[in-house]
Amino acid sequence: MISLNSIVSIKEALLDTLFPRRCVFCDSSRVELKSFLCYDCFQSIRVISHPFCSQCGLPIPGLALQSDGLCGRCLSSPPPYSRARYGAYYEGPLREALIRFKYYAALNVGITLSDVLIAAFQRHYDSKEFDVIIPVPVHRKRLFRRGFNQAVILATKLASKVTLPVDRRSLIKVKDTPPQARLPRAQRIKNLRNSFGILDPVNVRKKNVLLIDDVATTGSTIAEATKTLLKAGASRVDALVLALRTADFFNPDQPTNEEGDGSWR
């Protein structure tokens, strides 16, 4: 008698023959992992690890575990969120995959990218700390052009894993800000000021919120969104971002060729 496991194995083997699995990052046929990545792409993902600031989450080489592990910027001018944490460095195949996901609607890539975000959540947070997950919104004009909000997709996949509700309606983008990374810091801050709004403060009042975004350049998007949520009555806001562009944090006045989010100060 054929066991259920044998039937499943036969089915998977048949599907692999008819429809060979390919790496969602590089399209290689050498997929060896359940994440749908080839070995090289899987190994290329560099997660954000210690030492990093206990508040802003920035990796700081040689950061001493003193003053609660805070970096100099957080000691002198802390961001409004309680903690920010990041999944991996924005580089290599992950960077290319994120670009395809975000700007070319490669939604299948979002499944694997969500796994990177979920792993980061499991490293840094506990679902008991939060009441709700809120993805960073995009302006309705950009949503119409793109057809989806990548942060909503990431947040929804995370929520299903950690059994937390997702609120994608309360926090809205009220100002269609231009691409930030090509601008100096002062202009970035000006563009993002008052760019978010709350439809109904009751939905966030006295809630511990986990804010989700896809890429952080110098931190102002999550900072501005946090200010809006706290002003509306949220008890606490923490942030979890899939990928971190460290060059932008340490050189906030240096323009880049990609869309970014500004600086928290």
Does a structural domain hold residue 182? yes
Residue 27 confidence (pLDDT): 87
Q: Are residues 110 and 232 in the same domain?
A: yes
Helix (H) or strand (E) holding 154: helix 150-162
CA distance 248 to 185: 10
Q: Are residues 37 and 160 in the same domain?
A: no
End-to-end CA distance of the chain: 67
Portion of the chain with pLDDT greater than 70, in percent: 77
Quick one: pLDDT band at residue 18, thresholds 50, 70, 90?
Answer: very low
Residue 180 confidence (pLDDT): 60
CA distance 172 to 165: 17
Does a structural domain hold residue 261? no
- Please state the domain count of the chain: 2
Residue 157 confidence (pLDDT): 97
Does a structural domain hold residue 259? no
CB 261 within 8 A of CB 216: yes
Does a structural domain hold residue 265? no
Q: Are residues 81 and 180 in the same domain?
A: yes
145's CB contacts (< 8 A; 6+ apart) are none
Q: Are residues 26 and 137 in the same domain?
A: no
pLDDT for residue 36 is more than 90: no
Q: Are residues 113 and 151 in the same domain?
A: yes
Q: Which of 61-65, 192-196, 234-238, 240-244 has the lowest mean pLDDT?
A: 61-65
CA distance 25 to 143: 24
Range of the domain at 38: 1-44
Does a structural domain hold residue 6? yes
Find the CATH number of the domain harbouring 165: 3.40.50.2020
Residue 215 confidence (pLDDT): 94
Residue 12 confidence (pLDDT): 46
Q: Are residues 68 and 141 in the same domain?
A: yes
Residue 146 confidence (pLDDT): 86
Which tens digits make up the pLDDT trace of 205-263?
999 999 999 999 878 899 999 999 999 999 999 999 999 988 656 555 555 545 443 33
Helices (H) and strands (E) in the chain, counts: 10, 6
Q: Are residues 232 and 182 in the same domain?
A: yes
Which tens digits make up the pLDDT trace of 85-98?
999 999 999 999 99
Other beta carbons less than 10 A from residue 256's beta carbon:
15
CA distance 92 to 46: 10
Portion of the chain with pLDDT greater than 90, in percent: 57
Q: Are residues 174 and 228 in the same domain?
A: yes
Which tens digits make up the pLDDT trace of 146-156?
899 999 999 99
Q: Are residues 210 and 147 in the same domain?
A: yes
Q: Are residues 76 and 145 in the same domain?
A: yes
